[in-house]
Amino acid sequence: MTRNASCYITKRRAFVSIITFSIAYIYNDHVISIHSILESGSTILNLQNGNPNPTSTFTSSFGEIPNKISGQLNSFANQVGYFNLSCPFEMSKTSCAFLEYSEEDRARTRISSEYYKSVIRNAFDSTFFSGSNNQNTAKRVFMTGDSLTRQLFISLVCNAFTLYDGLVEHTEINWKEVDPCRNPSLCKIKGGEHGTFDAASVKFRGGMEVHFVPHKGFKDKGTAEVHVLERLAAEASNMGRVTFGKRTAMQPGGPVDVLVYNVGIHFGMDEFRDKLEYFVNKVTIPLIRKNLSARPRIIYFTTPTQHFNTSDGTFQGWRGSEWSLKCVDEVESNPRADIEKKILAPGVNIDVLLDYDDLNFGMMHVGKHDCAHYCMPGLPDTVAAKLLDLMK
């Protein structure tokens, strides 16, 4: 389905305050200053800085949340770029405002929205409207992963569409007629717009393009690329560069300038490690060693922390008890991120590793047995804003 941004609802300007993140760049166990980012490439996004700690401020019972906050929540639509399906590219199953059933849900929506509204605009301003960066915006980005990567794509297109008139020049998002959703409490919209999609593309004013193609998760054979790693590996070995493949929603305007990748959460830990090592040994190292100007900038973002009530916080199947599928506020570690940070070495086998400290953000997940995806708008927008900055 082809989307033209001019056909949609009148977009409001959102007045968003800016948080200055305290960023540390780490390489070989040493903290490096911001001026060394091009040499190191490792970025830790401090999600705590300038924001309330969700674990200490909001209790599990939400006892500290005022009982009457519905009116306050309604005002968020006038303060943020998108909210409660106001963006035509949102998916209903991660819109916590749309999924509200209880006071606890409303509290989850509130803290996620508070987080979101303070970080977005600066990233877009510096990328698309800074005179010194005009030449850097005409880039073509290939994002491949599962639904966690898709959340970052949604954030990029929804913020661009709702915050800036005319910034989104063209989009193609293939909404599924039927959403193969396994969780009825999240599937209020069962198909069509605001349901679910696989491959999607957006072109921004100035020429920048972002193309998302899933490799795992719910997908159609024609709109996903299950063996994307094998294709990227063959291209890296034979050509010293990679292409978009044949599954993008619209035809790319040129070669891949930036590759954004994440293994995702649909593999067990052993297979997860194998996939990541394959990505490094067969894709990134061959590209970096060839040292060709045609190769893309390679960005990997660490897998968001899961907050299931299990031994390590990760999802361990649908056979658990009702309680075991509820989200906990905080976990001690993120097993997938720990593996990623051991294997990936910025400046050696990856250009940029985007990491962030979300161990105590369990309260900002969608909930209703989904402790893997965060509410939108919410924490994914914070990560997407930094990702956008790193694409420049």
- The tens place of each residue's pLDDT in the chain, 392 residues long, gives 444 433 332 232 222 222 223 333 332 332 222 222 223 455 666 666 544 443 333 322 233 333 333 333 334 334 457 889 999 999 999 999 999 888 888 888 888 887 776 666 666 777 776 654 444 456 999 999 999 999 999 999 999 898 888 889 999 998 988 887 778 788 889 889 999 998 999 999 889 999 999 987 655 666 678 899 999 999 999 999 999 999 999 999 999 999 999 999 999 999 999 999 999 999 999 999 987 788 999 999 999 999 999 888 998 776 555 555 679 999 999 999 999 999 999 999 999 999 988 999 999 999 988 999 999 998 998 899 889 888 87
Question: What is this structure's pTM?
Answer: 0.81
How big is the chain, counted in residues?
Answer: 392
Picking from 217, 250, 44, 49, the residue whose alpha carbon sits closest to that of residue 144 is 217
Question: Which residues neighbour 183 within 8 Å (Cβ) at sequence distance 6 or greater?
Answer: 93, 368, 369, 370
CB–CB of 299/360 below 8 Å? no
